[in-house]
Amino acid sequence: MSHWNPAPFAQQLLDLFASLLLLIAFAMLSQRRILTLIHLFAWQGLILTLSIVDSAWLTHQPHLYYSAGLTLLTKVLILPLLLHRLIRRLDVVWDVETLINIPTTMLVGIGLVIFSFNLALPISHFSSTILRNTLGIALASVLLSFMMMITRRKAVPQVIGFLALENGLFLAATSATYGMPMVVELGVALDVLVGMFIFGIFFFQIRETFDSLDIRHMEKLKEE
């Protein structure tokens, strides 16, 4: 009887996590309610954490466990909680955004996924790590979050798109390489947290000035 080797299973699991992350990126693209959007963001963070734990176990890199802990702390706990508090204090918990052309957005999104897979293909060949499939997915979720920021007309969803973009980058960091050096990861996490606080201050300033969080009011500065 042959010995059961868990590595291929963990490899499959990693692909599963990466595709779930991409699926959530699509869900965020079409989600109209702000509250659900925050929940989706927290789920994406959790899946990212699981995938980092998985690759830490696969590659026997102890420092990846720390980075998984850092992701859990910031992306699953602190940032969603902060966002929750923010939308409660801004009183936009039940806000629903009207999105036009969801099918078109989805189709463009699929195009982006194909594009990123093609872009990542020549690079994946060089990957000495066993995690090569995920680079394309990571790039795709970065681009999808990018698109979410472009299509949104309200400040809070735009910021959630920005944070989701960071999730995609972290997936790339752990899939293409064995994670960035710890000092860099700490620095990035600090930047994201400080950035979130500044976004929070901004929301209040914007609402105070424009009586709304709609960024349509902020399209005055243009070259005529």
Partner 1 sequence: MEILVLLSFPLLGGLWLGVTGQRARAPQANLLFSLATLGAAAFLAMRVLREGRVSAWDEQFVVDPFNVFLVGLTAFVGTTTAWFSRPYVRNEVQHGRLSENRLRLYHGMYQAFLFTLLVALTTNNLGLLWVAMEAATLTTVLLVSLYRTPASLEAAWKYFILCGVGIAQALFGTLLLYFAAEKVLGEGGNALLWTHLAQVKGQLEPTIVSLAFVFLLVGYGTKVGLAPLHNWLPDAHAEGPTPISAVLSGLLLNVALYAILRTKVLVDGALHQPFAGHLMMGFGVFSVVVATLFLMRQKDIKRLFAYSSIEHMGLMTFAFGMGGAVANFAGLLHMTMHSLTKSAIFFAVGHASQKSGTQLMEQIRGLIRTSPTIGWGLLLGALAILGMPPFGVFASEFLILTTAMHEQPWATPILLGALGVAFAAILGKVQPMVFGPATGQRLPHPPAILPVFLHLTLVLILGLYLPPALAIWYRQAAALLG
Footprint of partner 1 (CB under 8 A): 61, 119, 122-123, 126-128, 139, 142, 146, 149, 155, 158, 162, 165-166, 169, 172-173, 176-178, 180-184, 187-188, 190-191, 194-195, 198-199, 201-202, 205-206, 209-210, 215, 217-221, 223-224
- Considering the complex, state which of residue 4 and residue 224 has its C-beta at the smaller distance from partner 1: 224
- Considering the complex, state which of residue 8 and residue 181 has its C-beta at the smaller distance from partner 1: 181
Residues whose CB falls within 8 Å of the CB of residue 121, separated by 6 or more in sequence, listed in order: 136
Question: Distance between CA atoms of 34 and 208, rounded to whole angstroms?
Answer: 20
Q: How far is the CB of 108 from partner 1 (least distance, A)?
A: 17
Q: Could you tell me if 51 and 174 are in contact, meaning their C-beta atoms sit under 8 angstroms apart?
A: yes
Q: Could you tell me if 44 and 10 are in contact, meaning their C-beta atoms sit under 8 angstroms apart?
A: no
> Which region holds residue 223: left if phi is over 0, alpha if psi is between -120 and 50, else beta?
beta
Element (H, E) at 36: helix 34-59
- Considering the complex, state which of residue 54 and residue 166 has its C-beta at the smaller distance from partner 1: 166
Q: How far is the CB of 144 from partner 1 (least distance, A)?
A: 13
Q: How far is the CB of 4 from partner 1 (least distance, A)?
A: 28
- Considering the complex, state which of residue 9 and residue 217 has its C-beta at the smaller distance from partner 1: 217
Q: How far is the CB of 179 from partner 1 (least distance, A)?
A: 9
Q: Could you tell me if 37 and 24 are in contact, meaning their C-beta atoms sit under 8 angstroms apart?
A: no
